[in-house]
Amino acid sequence: MAKTILWVDDEAELLEPHRLLLGDKGYRVETATNADDALELLRRRPYDLVLLDEQMPGTRGLDAYKDIREMLPTMPVVMVTKSEEDATLKEAIGVNIRDYLVKPVTPRQVLTVVTRILEGPLIRSQALARAFVERFRAIESERYAGLDWRGWIERFAELMQWDVDLAAAGELGLHESLRGLYPDMHREFATFMRTEYPRWLRELEGDRPPLSVDVVTEFVMPVLARDRKAIFVVIDCLRVDQWRVLEPLLAPLYDVETTHYYSILPTATPYARNALFSGLFPGEIAARFPDWWGEKDDETLNMHERDLLVAHLEELKVQAPVRYHKITTAADSDDLERHLPGAIAGEGIHAFVFNFVDMLTHGRSESMILFEVARDEIALRAITKQWFERSSLFTLLKEASRRNISVVITSDHGALHCNSPATVFAKRDATANLRYKFGEDLRAERPEQALLFTNPDDLRLPHRGPGNNTLMAAGDTFFVYPTKLREYQSRYRGSFLHGGVTPEECILPVALLTPKR
C-alpha cells in the first residue's frame, strides 16, 4: 500500500515537481495551505509523514508542530523553511523535528529525506539480511578445529554482533538460523579449552590470551602510569552481546576501544573476580592468603577484593591509593550518586563493582516475573540496556567524562542460557553448583556434556583433600542428580547460569574509555 504524505505549504502551486517525483516513486502526496486545514486532515485520515512549512500565514509551522505532536506523538515531521537563521534551526531541533530542509529544495532532496524516514528501516533490514545470508554460507562451511585463541575471539565476536543486529532488525527467522550454529560452536569450544587452557597455565610465557589474572597489569596499569589515576569498573556477569548494546550509549562521551580476554576456569564470581583483582590464580590466592581465601563457601570468597587489589599493586611495586566500591543494592546506588565527586577524586585506582546483571541472571530462577521479562538473550540485552541508561554506573561514567578521567570497564565472567539437563553422579562431598562441581568422584552420564579435570594443578585451583576432581559443564547444560531430576528441570531449565566452558562465559569484553575533548 502506498505511503501517504501530507505537505503543508501556502505555496502549493510550487510543489508540483516534488509531487510528480514522489508519485513516480510510489508515494501519494496530499496538500494543505495552512496549519488549521492540515490539523483537520490529520484528524480525519492516517498519514505516514508530514512536510511542514515554517513560514505560513496564520499559525507558524513550529506552533502547528506542537499541535501535531499532541494529537499524533509518533508522527514524523520534516520542517521545510526559507529561514536560515540559527535560532529557527535550534528551535526545530529542540522540539525534536525529525528532519530540517532549507528552501529552495530540489525534488531529489525531498525524496531522499522521505525515503530515509519511511523506507530506511526496511532498506537497512534488507541489506543486513542479504549480508548475513552471504556470510552465513561461509560461516557454515568454516570449521572451528583450526582456530587459535585469537581466531575464537574473532569468530565469537562476529557471531555476537550478528546476534545483536539481526534481533534489533526484527529478522527473527535469520536469528534462529544463526542460533542453529551455536551447538556446534559450544562443542568445538569445549574441545579447544580441554587441551589449550591447561597448556596456557603451564606455559604462562608462551602464546596465550590475556586471562583474568592479566587484566589489571595489561589494561589498568598503563592508564594509571599515564594519568596517575584510573577508574576500573567491573560489571559482574556481563556478556559480549550485552556490552555491544551498551557501547553505543558511550560513544558521545568517549572514544571506546574494545578488546577481549578469557576468564579463568571455573567462570564463576568467587574464582574469576578474585583472579581479576589479585592477578593470581585461585590456588595461589589460597596459598598466599589462607585467612582471606581458604576452604570457605563460595559466598564468602569475595570479601577481600580490595585487599587483593592492594596486594597486587604491592607485588607490582606500584604505590597508588586504592578506593573500592561495590554497588549491589538501590541504597548503594543512591549513596554513590550522592557522594560521586568524592568517590572519583584524587589519584590512584578507583575500583567499582556493579552486581545488577549478575543479580538479574540469578534472580530469574527465583522470580516468575523476572523469568518472564528476561526470558531469552534478546530480552536480557534489553533489560541490561534499560538498567544502564538509568543506573548510577552511567552517572559515574558521565561524570568521569566531564572530568576527563579515563575508564577501564570489563566483566569477570559471562553467562549462558541453559536448557539441557545433564545427569551427573557424585558422592556427598560434591559441591552444589549447577555449572561446575568439585568432588572426590564425579562423572557426567554423557561425557560430552562436561569437562572433567582430575588434577587441580591443571587449573591452578586450591587442593581440596581427596575431592580434587573438577567437573565443568559444556554447552547449554546444567547439572542434575538422578534423584532430583524433575525438581531441577522444573526449577532451572531456561536459566542463565555460569561456571561452565562456553564462549559466552569465557570470552569477555574489556574496554578503554578515553573522554572526548
Q: Which three cell numbers stand for residue 236?
A: 559482574
Q: Which of 189, 220, 236 is the last residue of a domain?
A: 189
Q: Collect the ranges in the chain with pLDDT lower than 70.
A: 83-96, 294-300, 363-367, 465-467, 485
The three cell numbers locating residue 171: 529478522
- Per the structure, the complete domain to which residue 385 belongs is given by 211-414+505-515
What CATH number does the domain containing 9 carry?
3.40.50.2300
pLDDT of res. 310: 95
Domains of the chain: total: 4
Asked whether the beta carbons of 88 and 75 are under 8 A apart, the reply is no
Q: 457 and 437 in one domain?
A: yes
At residue 479, the 3 state secondary structure works out as strand
**Could you tell me if 245 and 307 lie in one domain?**
yes
pLDDT at 87: 63
Residue 41: per-residue pLDDT: 92
Question: For the residues of 188-230, what is the DSSP string, one character each?
Answer: HHHHHHHHHHHHHHH-TTSS---BGGGHIIIIIHHHHHHHSEE
For the CA atoms of 400, 404, 408, 411, what is the dihedral angle to 10 degrees? 20
Residues 126 and 178 in one domain: yes
Q: Do 156 and 90 belong to one domain?
A: no
Together in a domain, 311 and 360: yes
User: What whole-number distance in Å separates Cα of residue 350 and Cα of residue 378?
Assistant: 32
DSSP calls for 273-330: HHHHHHSS-HHHHHHH-TTTSSS--GGGTTS-HHHHHHHHHHHTT----EEEEEE-SH
Tell me how far apart the 2 most distant CA atoms of the chain are, in Å.
92
Question: Which amino acid would we find at residue 419?
Answer: N
185 and 215 in a single domain? The answer is no
- Non-local CB neighbours of 463 within 8 Å, separated by 6+ positions: 283, 456
pLDDT value for 280: 96
319 and 270 within one domain: yes
Same domain, 325 and 454: no
Q: Are residues 309 and 338 in the same domain?
A: yes
Helix (H) or strand (E) holding 383: helix 377-389
Last residue of a domain, one of 61, 87, 118: 118
409 lies in the same domain as 433: no
pLDDT for 96 equals 67
* Cβ count near 315 (within 10 Å): 13
Residue 54 within a domain: yes
Residues 409 and 424 grouped into a single domain: no
Asked if residue 197 is part of any domain, the answer here is no
Q: What cell was used for 27?
A: 508515494
Distance CA 279, CA 313 (A): 9
H or E segment and range at residue 417? strand 416-418
The residues near 96 (Cβ < 8 Å, ≥ 6 apart) are none
Same domain, 138 and 113: no
For residue 422, give the H/E element and its range. strand 420-426
Assess if residue 203 is contained within a domain: no
- For Cα atoms 274, 283, 326, give the angle at the middle one, nearest 5 degrees: 10
- Return d(Cα 212, Cα 152) in angstroms, integer: 17
